[in-house]
């Protein structure tokens, strides 16, 4: 038996079955030169291939949003220009000019630090492959001939590849390349197919039709396993499939409790690609867009234009669903390579988030302007992090008003009535929640920080991990008080900290009256299914009872 272990996994579940090795035909890289007489015809051939490619992609866009993005890449002006110049100046044929120009794009994307941008390289390769196939007139399907449910093993799979396969015959995916946000990972997650990426060396060790077991949660792959191991995993896989079936059954159903109370489910995201992945789930919107990832993934402060582009893309993907963009939350454990913050004794208690933004209008204003402008394209809201006082909201809103005035004078469209909410993640904010609720349009409770500040236990320190517990009565009472204060002032209270995705906590939070639950997209169906099975009145009684308890142990014993 051969085994492999993948370091990082983004998937769950088990698959057992024969391996199908997918080897794609190498793209031909040696081409004949053209003559000066053929230039116009060659450019025309390229334009026609793009037209045909876009037509195919728009047809596929019903299957996944990614294909609409591919159509935009295929018809990109810079790509067209690069190809045209190479045909004209270097007398390259359309194929060679395309291969070289797209190679330049891929090189730029791959050399970027940001994982999201790096994975755009895969999109560019996919678009290039599609156009080359059209130009060559060949149309081979590497998945032809698969007749039984198999585990697909490949170096890398593009969205166009996955569009060609019969997914009913796919038990699992194992790929040597790719990461959490690669298209196959997202698609597999949505379809409940176990998927492992980064499985280096698998292609060398596995032969077509070898029997494979994959444990996606543990990141393990076994080739040619023993009978006993097969039996053990068949049992695990059976249980997992039953649980998945139960979750999927509730996926298309309304977000209502057993007694008909509506709850909102949103996703957390860090970039437009994650928004795209989340948009494929049934969500009410994005409850937390962590804008700092745009900053951390760049080698300079993202300009207003760069941010506008990213926020607008996210807003358009969501159509009329809400997109809550949290303003820059750096400091603490989040650093920027290109902007050295002063060394601090206690960075989590220091210069971070809104504190930086209020002191640095040159950083804050381009972001606010970009968000306001993106607001003209969708249902965008602003959220300020790490608020501890009424003055901070007023100050931030004052800067926001200045930005609106500037945009008005410049004649640039923006969202005039944009909502501004705040994160409740400090004890100070909890204690003055009623006053804050008069200044804010909504609350979102950040239990990741709230827990560390309430319990004086660093969220990233293993040594105090046992103390850091959001079920601590102090944290639960803080959450309940925040929700009460919000409702008293007629605004909604959501939660975007990890606690919202804990199924048992979600029942408790529902009972406390939480309006919106925001979490990683992959957790939503689990929480939804649990809340749909819950009776609101019962959850409320349990919450009231739990809020009277004085220790974590007592709280845990009362959970339903
Ligand atoms: C939180 O603190 O709960 C939160 C959602 O923000 P972050 O984890 O990004 O600090
Ligand atoms: Mg936080």
Q: What is the CATH number of the domain that holds 399?
A: 3.20.20.60
Burial label for 409, CB within 10 Å (0-12, 13-18, 19+), is exposed
Identify the weakest region by mean pLDDT among 270-284, 363-377, 539-553.
Answer: 270-284
Helix/strand/coil for 422: strand
What's the gap in Å between 425 CA and the centre of ligand 2?
Answer: 6
CB 381 within 8 A of CB 415: no
Cα–Cα dist 559/470, whole Å: 13
Q: End-to-end distance of the chain based on CA atoms, in angstroms?
A: 43
Cα–Cα dist 463/447, whole Å: 19
Q: Is the pLDDT of residue 423 over 80?
A: yes
Pocket test for ligand 1, best of 497, 514, 520 (most atoms within 8 A of CB): 497
At 491 the pLDDT is: 98
181 lines ligand 1 (CB under 6 A): no
Cα–Cα dist 301/299, whole Å: 7
449 lines ligand 1 (CB under 6 A): yes
Per-residue pLDDT tens digits for 292-304 = 989 988 889 999 9
- In this structure, the answer to whether residues 366 and 491 fall within a common structural domain is yes
- In this structure, the answer to whether residues 9 and 48 fall within a common structural domain is no
The verdict on residue 11 lying in a domain is: yes
Domain end, chosen from 235, 269, 301, is at 235
At 136 the pLDDT is: 81
- In this structure, the answer to whether residues 284 and 189 fall within a common structural domain is no
The verdict on residue 25 lying in a domain is: no
459 lines ligand 1 (CB under 6 A): no
What is the number of alpha carbons within 13 Å of residue 397 lying toward its C-beta?
18
Question: Sorting pLDDT into bands at 50, 70 and 90, what band is 181?
Answer: low
The verdict on residue 61 lying in a domain is: yes
- In this structure, the answer to whether residues 178 and 310 fall within a common structural domain is no
What's the gap in Å between 329 CA and the centre of ligand 2?
Answer: 8
Q: Is the pLDDT of residue 113 over 80?
A: no
Pocket test for ligand 1, best of 330, 451, 496 (most atoms within 8 A of CB): 496
Question: Sorting pLDDT into bands at 50, 70 and 90, what band is 283?
Answer: very high
290 lines ligand 1 (CB under 6 A): yes
302 lines ligand 1 (CB under 6 A): no
Identify the weakest region by mean pLDDT among 26-30, 276-280, 348-352, 515-519.
Answer: 26-30
Tokens representing 306 are 């760069």
Domain extent for 511: 258-558
pTM, two decimals, is 0.70
Known binding-site residues equal: 290, 326, 425, 448-449, 459
Helix/strand/coil for 400: helix
- In this structure, the answer to whether residues 193 and 273 fall within a common structural domain is no
At 121 the pLDDT is: 85
250 lines ligand 1 (CB under 6 A): no
Cα–Cα dist 311/323, whole Å: 9
The verdict on residue 240 lying in a domain is: no
Q: Which residues of 127-139 are buried (b: 16+ CB within 10 A; e: fewer)?
A: bbbbbbbbbeeee
What's the gap in Å between 339 CA and the centre of ligand 1?
Answer: 21
The verdict on residue 242 lying in a domain is: no
Going by C-alpha positions, the residue among 184, 138, 181 that lies closest to residue 161 is 184
Per-residue pLDDT tens digits for 342-376 = 889 999 999 999 999 999 999 999 999 999 999 99
Q: Is the pLDDT of residue 323 over 70?
A: yes
The verdict on residue 475 lying in a domain is: yes
Pocket test for ligand 1, best of 354, 385, 459 (most atoms within 8 A of CB): 385
- Atom of ligand 1 minimally distant from the CA of 445: 3
Domain end, chosen from 136, 162, 186, is at 136
469 lines ligand 1 (CB under 6 A): no
Per DSSP, the chain holds a count of helices (H) and strands (E) of 23, 15
- In this structure, the answer to whether residues 117 and 148 fall within a common structural domain is no
What's the gap in Å between 365 CA and the centre of ligand 1?
Answer: 22
Domain containing 161 — which CATH number?
3.50.30.10
- Atom of ligand 1 minimally distant from the CA of 444: 5
Active-site residue, 472 included: no
CB under 8 Å to 453, separation ≥6 — which residues?
Answer: 425, 426, 427
- In this structure, the answer to whether residues 6 and 68 fall within a common structural domain is no
Per-residue pLDDT tens digits for 156-165 = 888 778 877 8
Domain end, chosen from 84, 107, 136, is at 136
Active-site residue, 496 included: yes
| Closest residue by CA, ligand 1 atom 7 | 448
98 lines ligand 1 (CB under 6 A): no
Cα–Cα dist 89/100, whole Å: 13
- In this structure, the answer to whether residues 147 and 83 fall within a common structural domain is no
- In this structure, the answer to whether residues 385 and 471 fall within a common structural domain is yes
Per-residue pLDDT tens digits for 375-389 = 999 999 999 999 999
Known binding-site residues for Mg(2+) equal: 425, 449
CB 327 within 8 A of CB 385: yes
Tell me what the mean pLDDT of segment 162-176 comes to: 88
- Atom of ligand 1 minimally distant from the CA of 448: 3
Catalytic residue, chosen from 70, 128, 183, 357, is 183
Q: Is the pLDDT of residue 14 over 90?
A: yes
One DSSP character per residue, 21-66 reads EE-PPPPP-------GGGHHHHHHHHHHHHHHHHHHHHHHTTT-TH
- In this structure, the answer to whether residues 317 and 175 fall within a common structural domain is no
Q: How many domains does the chain have?
A: 3
- In this structure, the answer to whether residues 88 and 175 fall within a common structural domain is no
Burial label for 461, CB within 10 Å (0-12, 13-18, 19+), is exposed
The verdict on residue 26 lying in a domain is: no
Domain containing 97 — which CATH number?
1.10.274.10
| Closest residue by CA, ligand 1 atom 3 | 446
Known binding-site residues for phosphoenolpyruvate equal: 290, 326, 448-449, 459
- In this structure, the answer to whether residues 163 and 102 fall within a common structural domain is no
Question: Sorting pLDDT into bands at 50, 70 and 90, what band is 139?
Answer: low
CB under 8 Å to 314, separation ≥6 — which residues?
Answer: 269, 272, 275, 286, 289, 323, 325, 374, 378
């Amino acid at each position: 038996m051969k085994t492999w272990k993948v370091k990082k996994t983004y998937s769950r579940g088990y698959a057992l079955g024969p391996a199908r090795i997918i080897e794609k035909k190498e793209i031909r890289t040696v081409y004949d030169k053209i003559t000066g007489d053929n230039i116009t015809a060659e450019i025309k051939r390229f334009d026609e291939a793009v037209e045909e490619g876009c037509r195919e992609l728009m047809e596929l866009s019903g299957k996944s949003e990614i294909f609409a993005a591919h159509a935009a890449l295929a018809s990109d002006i810079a790509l067209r220009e690069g190809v045209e110049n190479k045909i004209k100046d270097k007398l390259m044929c359309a194929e060679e000019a395309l291969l070289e120009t797209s190679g330049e794009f891929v090189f730029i994307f791959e050399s970027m630090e940001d994982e999201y941008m790096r994975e755009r390289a895969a999109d560019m390769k996919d678009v290039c492959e599609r156009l080359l196939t059209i130009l060559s007139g060949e149309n081979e399907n590497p998945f032809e001939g698969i007749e039984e449910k198999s585990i697909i093993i490949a170096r890398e799979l593009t969205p166009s590849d996955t569009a060609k396969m019969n997914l009913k015959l796919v038990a699992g995916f194992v790929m040597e390349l790719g990461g959490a946000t690669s298209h196959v990972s997202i698609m597999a997650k949505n379809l409940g197919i176990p998927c492992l990426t980064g499985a280096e060396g698998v292609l060398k060790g596995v032969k077509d039709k070898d029997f494979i077991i994959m444990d996606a949660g543990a990141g393990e792959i076994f080739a040619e396993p023993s009978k006993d191991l097969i039996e053990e995993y068949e049992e695990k896989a059976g249980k997992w499939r039953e649980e998945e079936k139960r979750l999927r059954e509730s996926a298309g159903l309304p977000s209502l409790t057993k007694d008909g109370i509506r709850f909102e489910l949103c996703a957390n995201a860090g970039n437009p690609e994650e928004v795209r992945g989340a948009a494929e789930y049934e969500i009410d919107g994005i409850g937390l867009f962590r804008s700092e990832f745009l900053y951390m993934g760049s080698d300079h402060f993202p300009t207003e234009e760069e941010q506008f582009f990213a926020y607008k893309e996210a807003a358009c993907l969501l159509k009329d669903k809400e997109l809550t963009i949290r303003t820059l939350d750096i400091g603490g454990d989040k650093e920027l390579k290109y902007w050295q913050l002063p060394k601090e004794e206690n960075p989590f208690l220091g210069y971070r988030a809104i504190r930086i933004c209020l002191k640095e209008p040159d950083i804050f204003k381009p972001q606010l302007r970009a968000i306001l402008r993106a607001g003209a394209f969708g249902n965008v809201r602003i959220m300020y992090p790490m608020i501890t006082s009424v003055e901070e909201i007023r100050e931030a809103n004052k800067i926001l008003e200045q930005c609106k005035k500037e945009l008005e004078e410049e004649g640039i469209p923006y969202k005039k009535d944009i909502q501004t909410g705040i994160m409740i993640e400090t004890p100070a904010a909890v204690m003055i929640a009623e006053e804050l609720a008069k200044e804010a349009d909504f609350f979102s409770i950040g239990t990741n920080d709230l827990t560390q500040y309430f319990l004086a236990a660093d969220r990233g320190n293993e040594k105090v991990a046992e103390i850091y517990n959001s079920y601590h009565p102090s944290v639960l009472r803080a959450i309940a008080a925040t929700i009460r204060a919000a409702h008293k002032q007629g605004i909604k209270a959501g939660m975007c900290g990890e606690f919202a995705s804990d199924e048992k906590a979600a029942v408790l939070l529902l009972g406390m009256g939480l309006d919106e639950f925001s979490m990683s997209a992959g957790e939503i169906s689990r929480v939804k299914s649990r809340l749909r099975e819950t009776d609101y009145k019962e959850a409320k009684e349990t919450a009231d009872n739990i809020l009277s308890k004085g220790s974590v142990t007592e709280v845990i014993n009362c959970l339903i």
